[in-house]
Structure 1
Amino acid sequence: MPLSSLTLPPSEPGTAPEALVVILHGWGSNAEDIAGLVPSLSALKHCWVNVPNGPLAHPYNPVGHMWYDLEDPQWPGLEASKTQLAEHLTQLSQSKGIPFSNLFILGFSQGGAMALDLGLSLAGAGIGVFSGYLHPALLAAAPLGTPMPPILLIHGLDDGIVPFRAAEQTRQFLESCGAAFDFHALSMGHEITPEALGVANRWLLQHWGSQDISQENRQENRQENRQENR
């Protein structure tokens, strides 16, 4: 069954879309909720943005969705969701005429884990992970030995839902694979703060940018966003 989703056109009329950005919500959230972040990301103003709902209903939130069942240690539904999401991305790419090489996948929490898992198998433009984690099967596959897109990791030092050690594990995995990534440890909990959005916006501008951004401003964004991996 196709995934339900919200599609947001470029916010500046008369501009040719440069990229396709897909944003994946966390466990128990939905497309409408996480789509509220889009106005805070000015880098997306010339992009098509798609926000899908996870295929499974959440057991406690009547309007919530999930990508798989976190309460079962076997995580039932994960592989089926990955297949559905891959089909969804292919359909989006074809319908918008935007290749995977111009695709960014962003995700929060469970959505961040999905973005990382699926994004590493695609020749995309980039992967952004907010408060995410690694799926065990992906961890067991390291090193992948294939080129990877740029990756952004943002995680709260005080995250009580997905502990910071999950971000450290992801960092170590990416290092073992030789991936190019930016790692940002922020003073926050399990959330996406204005500071986190600012980091993500600069990263998007660095790795893609908009048509009206001068070369000088692109260089400034690169300098602001540069941070040593740790």
Structure 2
Amino acid sequence: MNTTLRDVRPPGWTENDVPEAMVLFLHGFGSNELDLASLVPALGLKQPWASLRAPLDLGNGGAAWFQITTPGAPDAEPVEQASEAIWAWIDANVDPATRIVPIGFSQGGLMASQLLRTRPERVVAPVVLGGFVLGAPQPGDGVLLEQRPALFWGRGAEDRVIAPVAIARSSEFFPQHTSLNEQVYPGLGHGINAVELGDVRDFLALEVGAHESATA
């Protein structure tokens, strides 16, 4: 595992700025750091952003946060190692006063939930797209039970990639530990559509002011 993560950032990125929040994109299995960065225009982000490449090289330009063993029930250790790698990147590249808005798809959605569950004080408005949660307890779960921060969970009604056991686990965990905005999209498989992007845009606008209005 490469624990020094590669990233892409927008022009004008500077580590001297200390924004209140920054967006961190976390791609899915077999994709790469260029994938979710393409969503920036649709989301109308005001905040600075970065998109990370997962630590496991799969070849042909693809990467993963962890290997798939039992679908929907990953081993905790590699997921937690990947979580630590993401936090190492954040600690090295983002001011400690800046909160993280993780937006992840599939495996990246799991990693977005991991950031919330490991350092909840540092994370705001996580977005889990076509993803799920790890079954093992995490250090911040007790804090989440008390504070129940906002979280967006969107998924396709026709998604056949994420195992039902993972959806069931997440359907139990998220409402107990977050103020959940759950959206299920008819006809959508394991992907992201324009309606979902609009809902994410509105969620971020409400929670972190991350939406530029059409008249701005």
Which of 60, 63, 86 matches 2:61? 63
Query: What per-residue deviation string (whole Å, max 9, x for no partner) do you get for residues 18-75 of structure 1?
Result: 5300010000000112211111111x1x2111100001112xx510000011136647
Q: Which residue of 2 aligns with 1:228?
A: none
Q: What is the SS of the residue equivalent to 1:174?
A: helix
The Cα of 1:149 is off from its aligned counterpart by 2.9
> 1 or 2 for the larger relative contact order (CA 8 Å, sep ≥6)?
2
Structure 1 stretches of 4+ with a deviation exceeding 6 A read: none
Q: Secondary structure at the match of 2:34?
A: helix
Q: Distance in 2 between matches of 1:90 and 1:47?
A: 18
Equivalence for 1:204: 204
Q: Deviations over 1:189-219 (max 9, x none)?
A: 0001111111100100011215976xxx9xx
Decide whether aligned partners of structure 1 residues 18 and 211 sit closer, same or farther in structure 2, where only a CA change above 3 A counts: farther
Partner of 1:130: 129
Greater gyration radius: 1
**TM-score, normalised to structure 1's length?**
0.76
- Distance across 1 between alignment mates of 2:91 and 2:102: 13
Q: Who is 2:35 aligned against?
A: 33
* C-alpha contact 2:43 2:201 (8 A) present in aligned 1: yes
| Amino acid in the other structure paired with 1:64 | G
Whole-angstrom CA distance in 2 between matches of 1:138 and 1:156: 26
Amino acid at match of 1:88: W
Aligned residue identity for 1:77: P
Measured in 2, the distance between the counterparts of 1:206 and 1:9 equals: 26
Structure 1 gap segments, 5+ residues each: 218-230
Would the aligned equivalents of 1:160 and 1:190 in 2 still touch at CA under 8 Å?
A: yes
Q: 8 Å contact 2:76–2:134 — kept in the other structure?
A: no
The secondary structure found in structure 1 opposite 2:136 is helix
Describe the shift of the 1:68–1:209 C-alpha distance in structure 2 as closer, same or farther (beyond 3 A): same
Q: How far, CA to CA, are the matches of 1:153 and 1:210 in structure 2?
A: 17
Q: How many residues align?
A: 202
State the alpha-carbon separation in 1 of the partners of residues 105 and 5 from structure 2: 18
Q: What's 1:223 paired with? A: none
- Distance in 2 between the 1:63 and 1:211 partners? 31
